[in-house]
Structures are given as structure tokens and as C-alpha cells.
A = this chain, B = another copy of it.
Amino acid sequence: MKSWRLLRTVLALGFALAGLTSFGAAQAADPLPSWNDGETKQAIISFVEKTTKEGASDFVPPEQRIATFDNDGNLWAEKPIYFQLLYVIDKVKELAPQHPEWKQQEPFASILNGDPKKALEGGKPALMQLVAATHSGMTGEEFQQSVKKWLATARHPETSKPYTEMIYQPMLELLSYLRANGYKTFIVSGGGIDFLRAFAETTYGIPPEQVVGSSLKAKYEMRGDKPAIVKLPEVDLIDDKAGKPVGIYQNIGRRPIFASGNSDGDFEMLQWTTAGRGPRFGLLLHHTDAEREWSYDRKSHVGQLNKALDVASKEGWTVVDMKNDWKVIFPWGDRQGTPRQ
């Protein structure tokens, strides 16, 4: 054995020992430290253990360990309104000088007058006008740059935190725990796919190819001597409600065995996931913590939870009671201003 090989062997043995020590420590440590002990946490851990234990009757081969997560109100907060709408509002204001006609034209006029609620009274056509004005006519790369720039400076109106810090610490731990156990984690969101892809990798460790979202059609064209993919003002997929299993089917091509959501928009995703054969897990987050986060369900405009909550027990879905199940809300603390312990 040449001396450099010997050196490599010694180094490798050192790493193996180091790895072994940290493995022992990880086994002993709590994989979900921000979850209170109780039925919910136990259900998650039992599921992960039984699906990953080789030889067990519920063992699932690694390539089938697909876990899908809704984003708004599930990985990050969705109050006062979807953060992507706040981006649209800021973008309309930014673009307004180039569009003097917007002052007299709805839904833009109401946005510029600080009344987004009125702007959205125009329903889907109004929303599509806003999306067309702020999300199309540019390349996907340009749009993502614009979102990244916005996320770097925009702040949540109440907590003054960047939106990318309005994320749930317990869900970050769940994502890591699943991945450490061979699960592939996906976002399946009603939000825009390019909007999500602008931050999902750095914020959640979820790469662009594992993001499924609502999308516009796109076109390949030459801009001078450079090819570009340009976003068109035409809907390709609304990845919400029954659109979620369709988005999963088209983009992932395999039924998840674990799905996590928080509203009726996630009903079909959870239904599709848990109707499959073999071990399946449906996780439904119930926002019950008015003090540390927000409390809402049946009468809420954003994040309405009726149907899914009604059938959760019958379907065997695990309901997370945020107030009781979560020790910590955000990585930095909670809405009351209490810093994280």
C-alpha cells in the first residue's frame, strides 16, 4: 500500500468513527424537538419508523417514500393574506409609473388606493389581470430574480420579519426528519410555481424540481441571439383542491405515502394520498393558536378548513393542534414577541 493510500485509509477510519459517534447521538436525540410529546408526535414517529424498518410488514422501499407538503399556512404563515398577494401589491405599485392608466382601471386602481380587498372583489378575472401584469411577459429567470429581490427587503406587516422567516420550526424539523429517513420531500402548493422556486431551496432545502405549484403557460423564443423561456398570461394549472392530485400525478408521477396540509385546498391531496394501499399518512394542521400564531378555520377567507376537518377522524388523518402540539412556532419565537427558548 502506497503511503498516500495509507493516509487515505487512516482518514477514512477517522471519519467512520466520527460518523458512528454522531449516528449514536442522533439516535438518542429527539428528531422533533419543537413538537410536544403526545399522540401527534408519536403518530409521526411511529409511521416513519415502521415504513423504514427493513423486513417490517409496513416497510416502504426508499424510492416510494414521497412526502408532499402544502406551503401557505403549512410551511409558512398565510396571515394577514397569502404572501404572494403582498408581492403582487408591491409589484403593482412598483410598475405603476409605467402604467398611468392603472389609476382609473380596476383592479389596479384599488390596489394603488391601498384597498386590495376591493381589488379582489372582481374575482378570478381581476386576479388574472393582476397575475398577467406582474407574473408574465418576462422570462422565468427574470421573474425569480424579482421575487428574490422582494423577499430580501419586504417585511411582514405585523412581525417585521422577512417572509422567509415566517416559517414553522416544527415543520422544518419534520422535513429534515423525513429526509434523514430516505423520504423525498415535495411542495405541492396553490401558490405560483416560480414564486415558490425562488426561495424553496434555501428556505426549506427543497430543490426546484421538487416544487409543484400553480403555473402559467410558457413559450420558448429567441431574444436576439439568446433563447429565452417567457411566461405567458395564460393559466396552465391551478394547483389547488382537485388540481393538487393532478399536479402530483403530472409532476411526480407517483402517489405520495405522506401528505401534509392545512386547509380545504388540501382535501383532495390528503384523500388521494391516504386512499392508496399500504401505509399512508395524512397530516392536517389546525391553526388553534391565536396568541403565538393565528387561530382560524371554518369561517376564514384564507386557509378555510371545513370539509377536511370534518372527515379527518373518519379518514384516519392526524390533526395537529398547533397550540398544544407545537412547543415553538417560528425559528425566532412567536407572534407575541416571545423569543424562542
A contact residues vs B (CB 8 Å cutoff) = 5, 8-9, 12-13, 15-17, 19-20, 24, 63, 66, 140, 184, 193-194, 197, 201, 207-211, 215, 218-220, 226-227, 229, 236, 242-243, 245-246, 249-254, 268, 271-272, 275
Number of copies: 2
**If the complex has contacts A12-B19, A19-B12, A253-B193, are A220 and B242 also in contact, measured as CB distance less than 8 A?**
yes
Contact B227 A246 (CB under 8 A): no
SS class of chain A's interface: helix, strand, loop or mixed? helix
Residue of B nearest to A243 (CB): B220
Among A211, A229, A242, A249, the most chain B Cβ lie within 10 Å of the Cβ of A249
Q: How far is the CB of A312 from chain B (nearest CB, A)?
A: 16
Measured CA separation A215–B246 after assembly (Å): 12
Contacts of A184 in B (CB 8 A): 209
State which of B63, B209, B226 has its C-beta within 8 Å of the C-beta of A252.
Answer: B209
Residues of B within 8 Å of A275, CB to CB, are 226-227
| B201 engages A63 (CB within 8 Å) | yes
Query: Is the CB–CB distance between A9 and B5 below 8 Å?
Result: no
Give chain B nearest CB distance to A151 CB in angstroms.
17
Closest chain B residue, CB of each to CB of A208:
B253
A63 with B207: CB separation less than 8 A: yes
CB-defined contacts of A208 to chain B, threshold 8 Å: 252-254
Residue from A13, A246, A250, A254 having most chain B Cβ neighbours under 10 A: A250
Chain B residue with the shortest CB-CB distance to A268: B220
Whether A253 pairs with B16 at a CB distance below 8 angstroms is: no
Partner of A272, one of B227, B242, B253, B268: B227
Residues of B within 8 A of A253 (CB): 140, 193-194, 197, 208-209, 211
What would 29 A/B residue contacts be, using CB atoms closer than 8 Å?
A5-B24, A9-B17, A12-B17, A12-B19, A12-B20, A13-B16, A13-B17, A66-B209, A184-B209, A193-B250, A194-B253, A208-B254, A209-B209, A209-B210, A211-B253, A218-B246, A218-B250, A219-B246, A220-B242, A220-B243, A220-B245, A220-B268, A227-B245, A227-B271, A229-B245, A229-B246, A229-B249, A229-B272, A251-B251
B residues within 8 A CB of A243? 220
Closest Cβ neighbor of A253 among chain B residues = B208
Bound form: Cα–Cα A17–B253 in Å: 39
Complex interface: chain B residues within 8 A of A16 (CB):
12-13, 15-16
- Which of B9, B242, B272 is close to A20, meaning CB atoms less than 8 Å apart? B9
A236 contact set on B, CB distance < 8 A: 250
Q: Which 4 pairs from chain A and chain B are nearest by CB?
A: A208-B253, A16-B16, A220-B242, A209-B252
